[in-house]
Structure 1
Amino acid sequence: MAGVWRCVLLVVVFMCVWGSTEAVGGAKSRPRPQRRPPKKPKVDPIELTPPAQNIDIQQMTGKWYLLNTASKCTYLMNHGTRVEPTVVMLTHSPDRTLSVSTKTRHSNQCWEILQVYYETPTPGKLKLKGARAELDTDIAVVETDYNSYAILYYQKRDQITMKLYGRSVDNLSEPMLAKFEQLAEKQGLGLAYLFPFPTYSHCGDVDKDHVINCVPTC
């Protein structure tokens, strides 16, 4: 297959049309001044919940299984009941980047998504660069024991996503799952925004035509 799977899973276009009304006789009426709604405070989990000190990115390398996601991402809200098994492979490079290979299914076919996370001066914090600086995704490894679990925060603009990864689909304890839910609740991501991922039937080898470079929205 030589086609290309679009990277953007869901695009919502907001069109604002501003116009003026005209009174009788062609005179334009002046619109009433309206009070602007108060701005919502910017939620910044990367700052409010800093990563553990001295996170060793080198120890983060290897295979991780995505077990749970907490997010208000529009795509997940609409399709969260149909998420597919997802496995991530991390490879650290001498140039202080982390190569990320994500394998999952789309339309009953296995795809591999390739990304690059850039290290920052702060231990445990990474950046996924977007098409423009304001579209960058800030990433924080907030907690991990390197051998069984890792909790990561992703922030793009004011949208937050939390992800729970495991080295295995079998050895994650119930207390750790409960802890992830509690951390998500603190960010306003209750049970309605939790999306468990299947722990079976993960993709293996992927045809080269199904390897793409892109930045998923969630």
Structure 2
Amino acid sequence: MGITVVAVVMVMCAMVVHADVKPQRDFDLQRFAGKWYRVGLAYDSPKFVPFRDKVKASMGFVTILPGGNVNLTMWDATPLGCQIKVYQYEKTNVAGQFTYYSTRHNMVKDITVVSTNYTDYALVLKHKVFNREYTQVALYGRSHSVRNNIIQRFRSFALSKGFSRDSILTPPPAENCPPSASGR
């Protein structure tokens, strides 16, 4: 019984922490669609630590689907080469918030576009509760690099959400990923 009470309290605390994150005011999905580079990442999973130095900036392409859902196609440089993954984000009742089903974790995760100016950067929070709260903050840019003040805004946001300085990355760009022939 004690474990159940602790689990319920942990889930409620996680919901409160996530509840204070609001999406971009007047979020415009049409303006958000297109090519993005993940140029910053804050992630504190212990399983991620051995891979921190191998992370490269990845490229993604946001495509609007009929009904307001979104496909995010991501190209990631891995030791096995350039890998492509497609995520389908389901719209919610709140503009700028989406959910998606993670086949890797066998659960639904929340995606919130916290801040964007649509032309230079987007700050995105991924949230899930799985044995403990896991949150990831990503900084996306329309090019491989963003202005220093945007990187500082990303770092400040990640620190305000409890990430340690060591868990905040601004990885170098990947070479030839996606390959030039990808057509994007």
Structure-2 separation of matches of 1:101 and 1:202: 16
Higher strand share: 2
| 2:164 alignment partner, one of 177, 186, 190 | 190
Q: What letter corresponds to residue 149 of structure 2 in structure 1?
A: P
Deviation at 1:198, TM superposition (A): 1.4
SS for the counterpart of 1:51 is: coil
Deviation at 1:207, TM superposition (A): 9.4
Q: What letter corresponds to residue 58 of structure 1 in structure 2?
A: Q
Deviation at 1:201, TM superposition (A): 1.5
State how 1:1-218 maps to structure 2 within 5 Å. Answer: 39-40=9-10, 41-42=13-14, 44-130=16-102, 135-157=107-129, 158-170=133-145, 172-205=146-179
**Alpha carbon RMSD of aligned pairs, Å?**
2.6
Runs of 4+ in 1 over 3 A off after TM superposition: 34-40, 43-46, 205-208
Structure 2 gap segments, 5+ residues each:
none
SS for the counterpart of 2:14 is: coil
Deviation at 1:114, TM superposition (A): 1.1
Structure 1 gap segments, 5+ residues each:
1-33, 209-218
Q: Which one is further off, 37-46 or 142-151?
A: 37-46
Higher helix share: 2
SS for the counterpart of 1:42 is: helix
Give 1 or 2 for the bigger CA radius of gyration.
1
SS for the counterpart of 1:188 is: coil
Deviation per CA, 1:30-76, whole angstroms, max 9, x where unpaired?
xxxx9769554325554212012220112111111111111112332
Structure-2 separation of matches of 1:142 and 1:97: 18
Q: Do the aligned residues in 1 keep the contact of 2:57 with 2:144 (CA within 8 Å)?
A: no
Q: Do the aligned residues in 2 keep the contact of 1:103 with 1:112 (CA within 8 Å)?
A: yes
Aligned residues: 173
